[in-house]
Amino acid sequence: MDITRAIHDKMVKERLLFVYRGDITERNSLPLITLLENEMKEDSFGFVGQKRLFMFVLESLQNIAKHGDHDHYGKMSLVSFSRTDDGYTITTGNILASENVGHLKKRLEEINNSDIKDIKDLYRQILNTSEFSKKGGAGLGLIEMAIKTGNKLDYDFVPVNDNFSYFILSKTVDSSGMGRNSAISRSHFSSDSVVKLEQ
Predicted confidence at residue 53, as pLDDT, reads 79
In sequence order, the 6+-apart residues with CB closer than 8 A to the CB of 22 are 74, 75, 77
Predicted confidence at residue 14, as pLDDT, reads 76
In a domain, 26, yes or no: yes
In a domain, 136, yes or no: no
Predicted confidence at residue 18, as pLDDT, reads 82
**Cα four-point dihedral sign 132, 138, 141, 144:** negative
Q: How many domains does the chain have?
A: 1
In a domain, 71, yes or no: yes
Distance CA 36, CA 19 (A): 11
For position 67, which CATH number holds? Answer: 3.30.565.10
In a domain, 181, yes or no: yes
Per-residue pLDDT reduced to its tens digit, 111-141: 888 888 888 888 888 777 755 554 455 578 8
In a domain, 161, yes or no: yes
Q: Is 95 within 8 Å of 68 (Cβ atoms)?
A: yes
Specify the pTM: 0.80
Q: Is 18 within 8 Å of 47 (Cβ atoms)?
A: no
In sequence order, the 6+-apart residues with CB closer than 8 A to the CB of 58 are 29, 33
- Domain boundaries, position 50: 3-97+154-198
- To 5 degrees, how large is the angle CA 9–CA 11–CA 17? 150
Q: Residue ranges of the alpha helices (H) in 41-188?
A: 47-67, 70-73, 101-112, 116-129, 140-149
Q: Is 21 within 8 Å of 92 (Cβ atoms)?
A: no
In a domain, 135, yes or no: no
Per residue of the chain (199 residues), give pLDDT as tens: 576 677 767 777 778 878 888 888 888 888 888 877 777 776 666 777 777 877 888 888 888 888 777 777 778 888 888 888 877 888 888 888 889 899 889 888 888 888 888 888 888 887 777 555 544 555 788 888 888 887 788 899 999 899 999 999 988 887 776 776 544 444 556 677 777 766 6
